[in-house]
Structure formats: structure tokens, C-alpha cells
Chains A and B, each alone.
Chain A
Amino acid sequence: MDMLIARDVSVTASFDGGIVPVIQELSFSLPAGRILGLVGESGAGKSMIGRTIAQLLPPGFSVASGELMFDGQDLIRLPAETRRELLGRDIAFVPQEPLSGLNPVLTIGRQIDEHLGRLNFGHARLRRERALDMLNAVHLSHGADLLDKYPHQLSGGMCQRVLIAMAFASKPKLLVADEPTTALDVTIQARIVELIAELQSREKTAVVFITHDLRLAAQICDNIMVLYAGRPAEVGPARDIFSNPAHPYTRCLQLSNPTVSGPRRDLYALPERMPGLSAIKGIVGCLFAARCPNVIEACTKALPPFIDIEPGHVATCIRPEATKAIAPPGLQRAELPQAGQPLLEAKGLTKIFKSSHGFFRRTAFAAVKDVSFTLNEGEFVGIVGESGSGKSTVARLLCGLEKSGEGAIVIADRDVTDGGAVSRQHQRTHVQMVFQDPQSALNPRRRVGSIVTQAMEAAGGSTSAERLSRAEALLSEIGLPPEAALRFPAQLSGGQRQRVSIARALCVAPNILIADEIVSGLDVSVQAQLLNLLMALRRRRSFSMLFISHDLSVVRYLCDRVLVMRLGEVVESGPTEQVFASPSHAYTRALLAAVPPDDPTVIWNPRGAEVAAPVLTATL
């Protein structure tokens, strides 16, 4: 029996004085006990669908037509009161950001208890027993202790487990999970997904699983709907969609994601971005036409209809047969510069952070412990690790933002460990850094042109005309139009901001670039653009790079050598291919196991991800 059926649902928003379509022609059916994956990049409208089900559309948005049948009732036309009763009981939600789903000033126990109270779960003792059972079911041991804790005392993964426990408490018929693992570390991600799948199959719950990760969706979902600019691009059985994509967008998404196994292939980088709300209205034909490699004239004449590829597999593309032919351009790795002399050497780096609580209690926490490695000329070295592994601290130590406690840093034959004025000057001309969050890394009050040439401003002796022309040169090198020099960061997209951040680092022509998680939080197609840009810059400028990331596939794509860090220590290092093909440390194996396999027919066993829980602080 179908638990949730969408029939031609469309959602509109009033925007800039007009009505624009946000979701168009959305139709699907989700039987009980099945998982439907909604896949797309940001702006594809996948979260809007979740919000439509919850009737939590932002102000100005409304359902224009269609019906959304849940268990025989149309959610859209249901009186508010009945709907409110359904939500939270028959329809449960798991949010993206676990901390935002919990009230920070109430204990976990209070929140679960209130939730059970709302579900009429008997008196207080019964509710407490039930709460402990629930925590058990999501594999949280020490449930009794947890009940007295506040959300901020738990890790993100634990909070997400609590939310999942609460979601399943009422034995809901439908669960909507909106990117439930995006904010979490890879190994924890895998466990959370596994947990949802486990409870789902036990309770026979229908699940709408919203994600940007096609590989993950192919692995755990029965059916997948790929969305583009608010309209379904392709719908069908998960395996079919993954192994035989019919819509060019699906194919490009797949090709823009680097792999962790098999031969290293080049990335397909879609040009530009998905049209925003204001642009969609003006598009006559296929919404994907502006970026589609297979576009023909007929595509821009009319919105392509739903075309059957196989029974149960439809795509909105008028020439699905051409999709297979899309292939990434060859990047010719052979042309890449060969590694030369050692350029940067870290010897026994150690960083201990001390914090004091009151007068007597001091805790010390070794963020980095005895880390040694070399970076050679023209080489790309990756550091992978999860949060708390100390990888970002290593980056800050190397560029001089943080002083190391012990150990030595030698850059281009000069020991800069002392951190004196001359050393810092030397360090600056050789090492530059690109930061993780481009929002925080760019001063919102400066124009892009002034941001990228800040190094010239610091050095002095340049006129503003000189700086502007240099800014334009740098911008064209990183693929932005010269007019961008006059914009403010707020007027750029996330990917463009990250490019500006790269341009600023390149301004002094450093021979070492340190990139700290620079593609995390970006859409896959934007990520592919940036990764290809780095490859192109590498060929042209032949600098060395230390690329820090939690994403193994990205490191594999970009780097010649890799260091795996855990709790401040390097646990494994070696040539990328070797480490990925035959990892020797248990933690590396766990990290690799946590990534959904590239081939959906391979059974995914994230249980390989079992590692002892880390102990982070030692009290002195």
C-alpha cells in the first residue's frame, strides 16, 4: 500500500514582486516500508519537498496545485488541527542539524519525556522506562546518564541518535530525514544511516531520505528522484538510476564525484550554477539546457515531458539515449609537474592547548602530537582525518597562525620555528592558506578586488590602479570575470567566494598552498569545478599543496601522497594509491569502509567502521 503519494504537486513563491515556481510537476508514490531518496544540489528544491510534507513552508511560499496523499488523506487540504496531530506522531522528522532539533536549555530526558507525554505514553515512570528503551534501540549505552545531560554535552552523532530515537518513538508511518548526516563525520555518518535503515526495516516505516549524495542514496534507497531546479529530472529504482542514468544531470552528478576505489578518473565539472528562483521563471525549455552537454535546439523550445526509459524509470529529457556518451575531459595527469626537492619539513610538531577552569583545575589537550612529514616541490599532499584529528591545527602551525610547543618547521631551507619577524616574513612569502569557510574568510566590507590584493596593500608601494589590474589578472586566472573585482563577497556564491579566497592566497605567488577543507560544504558540481581549477593551477604555477580534508575521495583525486591523522597523530602515510588500495592501519580501513562504495551492487558494510571511542582530553 502506498503510504505517501504526490500527484503533480507544485509550490510557488512570491519573489521580487512576481510568482515563481519552486517545485513543479512533482509526482511519486512511496509504499510502506520503502525508502525514497530525494537527490539534488542546493537549490534543487529537495528540502522544500520535506517542508511541504511538514507544511512548514517559509512565508511567501505556498502549494499552488496538486495533492499529497498520506495514508489516504490529502495533507495539503487537511484542517490545521488534524495535520498537527499527524505530524510528530504518524509523520516524524529528522533534521539536518542535530543541535537545532533539540532545545539547548532542557535536558535530553526532559525533551524525550515531553515528547512521550505529547504522545500520551502513560505516567512518568512508564515514560522513563520507555525513554531508556528508546535510547537502547539507537545503540546509546548509559541511557540513564544521558537523560540528565544537556544537548551541548553530547556529540553531534549522539544528538542525532536521540532525535532518531524520538522520531521512532511513536512508530510513525512516514519518516522524513532531511540530510540527517551532512553535519557529521564520515564514520558517524555511516552509523547514522545504518541506524535509520535498521529501525526503518524493523518498523516497516516509509522513509523520504533527502540527500545531496547520489552514491549514498543509491546504496540505501529503493527508489531515487533526482531533482533539478525544483523539477524532477529522473525518477526510478535506485540501482537503475545509478548504473544507467538517463538524464544528463544525473550522469554529470555522478561524474563530478571523485571515487575512492577503481581507477582514478577525471571529474566532469558542470559549468555555471543551477538557476536561482528568479531565473527559473524566464526559462522556456529544459531547465538544465544552459549547462547540458547534450543540448540541442529542440531542448530550449519546450519543457521536456516525462519520458519512460524502462517501466518505473522516467526522465525529463528528450534525448536520453545520448546521456551515456557524456565523459569527462582528459586532464592528462602526465603533464603534472614531478615532485622535486623537499620544500617544507615538519619535525615532531606538537601543540598542546591549555585551558583553565577556575583556579586549580587545568586541562591540557594535545591537538597535535609529534607530527613529522615533508612536502616536496610541486607535490600535492593530503591530510585526512575527522573532526578533532588535529589536521586544521597542523595547517595553522605551518603558516604561523599558531606557535608550536615542540618540534621544528623548515621552509625552503630556513628554520622558521622561532616565529620572529624575519621568520614570519619568510613564511609569508612561501606559505599561504585558503580557509574552510569562505563566508568567514572574506571581509564583508571589502570589495573583491581589494581582498585579493591585500598582500600588495600590506607591502605598500603600489598604486590603486596597479592593484586593480593585478586583481583582474588574478580573477581571470581563477575563472571569475574582471567585473567581479568591484563586487562585495555577499554578492558572490559560495563557490565563487572560495575562488576569491584562492586568488588572495595566490597573490604573493607562494610556492606552498595550504588548503583547509576548502570544498566541504560546497555542492558536488561546484566542488568538481574547484578541484579542476586546482589541477589547472597546479599545471600552470607548479606550486606544492597541503590539502586538508575529511573527504577521502577528494584527497584521492587530488593528492600524490596522503597522511591519515587521528587524535593528533599521523597513523598512516604513503602514496595515495597505495594507502587507499591496501590500508595498513585499522583507522584508515574504518574511514574507507564508511564511504558508500562507488558500485551500488557491492554490499556496503560500514560496520568496518568500528573503532574504539576516542578519549580526547587528559586532565593534568
Chain B
Amino acid sequence: MRNILPPWLRSARVIIGLSIIAVIALCAVFAPLLAPHDPNEQNLLTTFLPPVWAQGADSAYLLGTDSLGRDVLSRLIYGARVAMMVAVIASFGAMVIGATLAYLAGYFGGRIDSLIGRAVDVWMSFPPVIMSLILMVGLGVGLRNVILAIVIVDWTRFCRVLRSEVLVVASKDYIAAARLVGFSHWRIITREIIPASLPLLITLVSLEMGIAVIVEAVLSFVGLSVSSQTPAWGQMIADARQYIYDSPWNLLFPALTIFFAVFGFNMLGDGLRRTLDVRLTAVQRV
């Protein structure tokens, strides 16, 4: 049984990471079914209710209510939608741009490589948080711009790491052999190089998703992301911050949720890196 599974599925990290992400993804997709209340439904009579296990709780609100009497659990569940959307779209966008440039740079080398390399260096000399804040100010608020900002800031992560991997693969004799039998550049990149670098790519995407969740939380915390009508984890923290003495729970739950989401993506990424990275596994085998 154990040997049927591919090695990356046998890693505890990967399993833990995947399960956490699966739970969050399910929440996002089935939010209307799972959430006990409408996330925006206010009830000013029942504000600051503690979670069920604390004194004075209402069993209708499992994790209590916030300053406007909205159900915290429902807001967390709906908040997963924003988080997952940003995580998926932003990291794929960053990957597409970064990876494309990395394949071009690593495969063709020479002038293309040094040009792209320079661009990455210049890009990375800006502190990412400042850069995304400046971008947000320029682009204006809104979820679409949050995603755009993450893509614009983070494509370099993919480009830099992947480029060195592509360099290694491109120097293999089987790439030369493919050229000799008449494969086109496009074909060599898609058939020979991308499959070889796919493990690294997947790993990078899963790490980037964790980063995207944090960035979105930060931006919605400062009110640059979704409008106040859409529940988002960062926003919940921002709201709760004012009432931290009345109800510390309100701050704790979204913070914990963000922590677990990022933890899940990082576990997955780390586990994949350990099991898929040929160099690393080779070292372990020795």
C-alpha cells in the first residue's frame, strides 16, 4: 500500500499541508452552505458574544459575534473566499510571468539572460512591502488591484529560483540531443525543460500562496483591499483591534486562521521541496 503512493504523498508535511488547505478550500467553495449565518447580518443586541465554551455564550454563534453582532464563524468562512482567490490567482499570475522569463533567460542565455537578470536585480532592490503599498496607492483599492500588486511584486521570486534550475537542465546533453534531432526551441522548452522543472515550480507556487494570503491580510487590514461589505480576515483583525479589551476573541480567531492557512501552504511547499528536489533526495540517500 505504502509503495503505491508516490513518494511526495508519503511525506507527513505534505499530508498536513494538503489537509489544511483542503479544509480552507472547501470553506471557500461551500461558504453559503457551511456558514450558519449571513456574514453581514447585524444584530446590535448581541454584540461581543464570546465563543460557546466561554461564559455567557449563545450556542447559535459558535465563535461568538463582533462589535456589530455579526457571526464570527460565518465571517471566517466567507473570508476564506477572498483569501483563496488571492492566493490562487495572484500566485499563478506571478508564476506565469516569472516562469516565462526564467525559461527564456535560462534556455537562451546570453543577452536575454543578462537583460532579465538585471531586471530581476533592480526589482528585488525595492523592499516588497513598500513597493506593494506604493502600487496600491497608485492603482487604487480593490481586490483586483491587490492581486495585481502581488503579481507585480512577486514574479521575481519565481524568475530567480527557476532560472538557475533551467540553466542546469539546459546544459544537459539530452537537450543538445533534442536539438540535434530537430526539436524546435518551443518544443524543447515545453517537452524537455518544463517537465524537469515542474516539481520546483509546484513547490514555489505553494510557498507563494502562503505569501499571498499574508499580503492580502495586510492590505485589507489597512483597508486597501476589499470593500467593507466583503468579509476578509485582515479586515476582521482591523475591526477587532479597536475592541481588543472588550473581546480579545475577535482578534484571536482571524489571526489564528491566517496563521493556519500560511502554515498549511508552507508545510506543503516545504514537504514538496524535500521530496521532489532531486538534489536534496540524492543527498539524503547517500
A29 at interface, CB cutoff 8 A: no
* Of A437, A440, A458, the contact of B181 (CB 8 Å cutoff): A458
Q: Which of B176, B179, B182, B187 contacts A435 (CB 8 A)?
A: B176
Query: Does B123 lie at the interface of the complex (its beta carbon under 8 Å from any beta carbon of A)?
Result: no
Smallest CB gap from A460: residue in B: B182
Contact, CB under 8 Å: A440 / B180:
no
Question: Does A428 lie within 8 Å of B177, measured CB to CB?
Answer: no
- Residues facing A in B158-211 (CB within 8 A) are 172-174, 176-184, 187, 192, 195-196
Assembled-state Cα–Cα distance A442/B174 (Å)? 5
Which A residue sits closest to B169, measured CB to CB? A443
Inter-chain CA distance A433–B180, complex, in Å, is 8
Partner of B192, one of A399, A443, A507: A443
B180:A401 contact, CB within 8 angstroms:
yes
The answer, yes or no, to whether A561 is at the interface (CB within 8 Å) is no
B258 nearest CB across to chain A (Å): 38
Is A254 among interface residues, defined by CB-CB distance under 8 A?
A: no
A445: interface (CB < 8 Å): yes
Cα(A113)–Cα(B182), bound, Å:
55
Q: Which residues of A contact B187 (CB under 8 A)?
A: 458
In the complex, A440 Cα to B173 Cα: how many Å? 5
**Contacting residues, chain B, for A457 (C-beta < 8 A):** 183
Contacts of A400 in B (CB 8 A): 180
Chain A stretch 522-568: residues in CB contact (< 8 A) with chain B: none
B176 partner, pick from A401, A459, A507, beta carbons under 8 A: A401
Q: Verify if A508 is at the interface (C-beta below 8 Å from B).
A: yes
Residues of A within 8 A of B183 (CB): 454, 457-458
Please give me the residue from chain A that is nearest to B188 by CB atom.
A458
Whole-angstrom distance between the alpha carbons of A436 and B196 in the complex? 21
Q: Are B181 and A433 in contact (CB under 8 A)?
A: no
Residues of chain B lying within 8 A (CB to CB) of residue A437: 173
Instruction: Please state if A455 and B182 are interface contacts (CB–CB under 8 Å).
Output: yes
Contact (Cβ within 8 A) A441 B173 = yes
Closest B residue to A508 by beta carbon equals B181
Instruction: Provide the bound-state CA to CA distance between A492 and B179, in Å.
Output: 24
Q: Which of A424-463 contact B (CB under 8 A)?
A: 425, 428, 432-433, 435-437, 440-443, 445, 454-455, 457-459
Whether B174 and A425, one on each chain, are in contact in the complex, defined by CB atoms closer than 8 angstroms, is no
A161 within 8 A of B: no
Which among A435, A445, A454 has the highest number of chain B CB atoms within 10 Å? A454
> Could you say which residues of chain B place their CB within 8 Å of the CB of A399?
180
> Is the Cβ of B177 less than 8 Å from the Cβ of A441?
yes
Complex formed: what's the CA distance from A332 to B251 in Å? Answer: 89
CA distance A399 to B181 in the complex (A): 11
Tally B residues with Cβ within 8 Å of A: 16
Tell me, in angstroms, the Cα distance from A501 to B174 when the chains sit together. Answer: 9
CB distance B178 to A454 under 8 Å? yes
Contact pattern, A 501-512, Cβ under 8 Å of B = 1, otherwise 0: 100100110000
List B contacts of A396 (CB < 8 A).
176
Residues on B with beta carbons closer than 8 Å to the beta carbon of A425? 182
A455 contacts which of B181, B192, B195 (Cβ < 8 Å)?
A: B181
> Which residue from chain B places its CB closest to the CB of A507 in the assembled complex?
B181
* Contact residues in B for A436 (Cβ distance below 8 Å): 173
A167 CB to nearest chain B CB (Å)? 24
**Chain B residues positioned under 8 Å from A440 (CB to CB):** 172-174
Give the shortest distance, in Å, between B114 (CB) and chain A (any CB): 10
Complex contacts, B172 vs chain A, CB 8 Å: 440-441, 443
Q: How near does chain B come to A506, taking the closest CB pair, in angstroms?
A: 11
Interchain CB contact under 8 A, B174 and A441: yes
In the bound complex, what is the Cα–Cα distance between A454 and B184 (angstroms)? Answer: 12
Query: How many residues on the A side are at the interface (Cβ–Cβ under 8 A)?
Result: 25
The total of Cβ contacts below 8 Å across the A-B interface reads 54
Instruction: Check B173 against A428 for contact (C-beta < 8 Å).
Output: no
Tell me the bound Cα distance from A147 to B196 in angstroms: 42
Q: Which residue of B lies closest to A443 (CB)?
A: B174
CA distance in complex: A443, B195 (Å): 10
Q: How far is the CA of A458 from the CA of B179 in the complex (A)?
A: 9
Most chain B beta-carbon neighbours within 10 Å: one of A432, A436, A437, A455: A455
Kindly state the separation between the CA atoms of A425 and B184 in the bound complex, as whole angstroms: 12
Nearest residue in B to A456 (C-beta to C-beta)? B181
0/1 per residue, A403-425, Cβ < 8 Å to B?
A: 00000000000000000000001
Give the shortest distance, in Å, between B115 (CB) and chain A (any CB). 15
Distance in angstroms between the alpha carbons of A459 and B179 in the assembled complex: 12
Q: What's the nearest-Cβ distance from chain B to residue A570, in Å?
A: 24
- Distance of B57 from chain A, by nearest CB (Å): 56
CB distance from A496 to the nearest CB of B (A): 16
A93 vs B4: C-alpha distance when bound (angstroms)? 44
In whole angstroms, what is the CA distance A54 to B154 when docked? 51
Contact A435 B196 (CB under 8 A): no
Chain B neighbourhood of A443, CB < 8 A? 172, 174, 178, 192, 196
Q: A508 CA to B183 CA in the complex, in Å?
A: 13
Interface centre among B172, B183, B184, B195 (most CB of A within 10 A): B172
Interface centre among A400, A435, A436 (most CB of B within 10 A): A435
Chain A residues, Cβ within 8 Å of B177: 433, 435, 441, 454, 501, 504
CA A432 – CA B178 in complex, angstroms? 11
B182 interface neighbour in A428, A433, A501, A504, Cβ under 8 Å: A428
Q: How far is the CB of A409 from chain B (nearest CB, A)?
A: 15
Q: What is the distance, in angstroms, from B278's C-beta to the closest C-beta of chain A?
A: 9
Q: Which residues of A contact B178 (CB under 8 A)?
A: 443, 454, 458
CB of B124 to closest CB in A, whole Å: 21
- Kindly provide the distance from the CB of A100 to the nearest chain B CB, expressed in whole angstroms: 12
Q: Which of B174, B180, B196 contacts A432 (CB 8 A)?
A: B180
Contact between chains at A428 and B195 (CB < 8 Å): no
Distance in angstroms from A99 CB to nearest chain B CB is 17
B58–chain A nearest beta-carbon distance, Å? 58
- Scan residues 285-312 of chain A and give those whose CB is less than 8 A from a CB of chain B: none
Q: Which A residues are CB-close (under 8 A) to B181?
A: 428, 432, 454-455, 458, 504, 507-508
Do A445 and B196 form a contact, CB below 8 Å, given A432-B180, A504-B181? Answer: yes
Which residue of the partner chain, among A435, A441, A445, contacts B195 with CB atoms under 8 Å?
Answer: A445
Query: In whole angstroms, how far apart are the Cα atoms of A445 and B181 in the complex?
Result: 18
Q: In the assembly, what is the distance between CA of A93 and CA of B183, in Å?
A: 48
Which chain A residues lie closer than 8 Å to B176 at the CB level? 396, 401, 433, 435
Closest A residue by C-beta to B286: A58
Nearest CB of A to B201, in Å? 14
- Docked CA distance A457–B190 (Å): 14
A459 contacts B180, CB within 8 Å?
no
Point out which of B174, B180, B181, B192 has the most chain A C-beta atoms below 10 A from its C-beta.
Answer: B180
Contacts of B182 in A (CB 8 A): 425, 428, 455, 458-459
A335 CA to B285 CA in the complex, in Å? Answer: 50
> For residue B181, which residue of chain A has the nearest CB?
A455
Closest B residue, CB atoms, query A401: B176
A437 to B171, CA, bound (A): 12
- Report chain B residues within 8 Å CB of A504: 177, 181
Question: In the complex, how many angstroms separate the beta carbon of B49 from the nearest chain A beta carbon?
Answer: 56
Q: How far is the CA of A66 from the CA of B195 in the complex (A)?
A: 51
Cross-chain contact A428 with B174 (CB below 8 angstroms)? no
Assess whether A428 is in contact with B180, with CB atoms less than 8 Å apart.
yes
Q: Which chain A residue shows the least CB distance to B278?
A: A444
The interface of chain B, by Cβ under 8 A from chain A, is: 172-174, 176-184, 187, 192, 195-196
A-B contact pairs, 18 of them (CB 8 A): A396-B176, A400-B180, A425-B182, A428-B181, A428-B182, A435-B177, A436-B173, A437-B173, A440-B173, A441-B174, A454-B177, A454-B181, A454-B183, A457-B183, A458-B187, A459-B182, A501-B177, A504-B177
Beyond A445-B195, A454-B177, 12 additional pairs, beta carbon < 8 A:
A396-B176, A400-B180, A432-B181, A433-B177, A435-B173, A442-B174, A443-B174, A454-B178, A454-B183, A458-B181, A501-B177, A504-B181
Q: Which 3 A-B pairs have the closest CB atoms?
A: A455-B181, A441-B173, A458-B182
A residues with CB within 8 A of B: 396, 399-401, 425, 428, 432-433, 435-437, 440-443, 445, 454-455, 457-459, 501, 504, 507-508
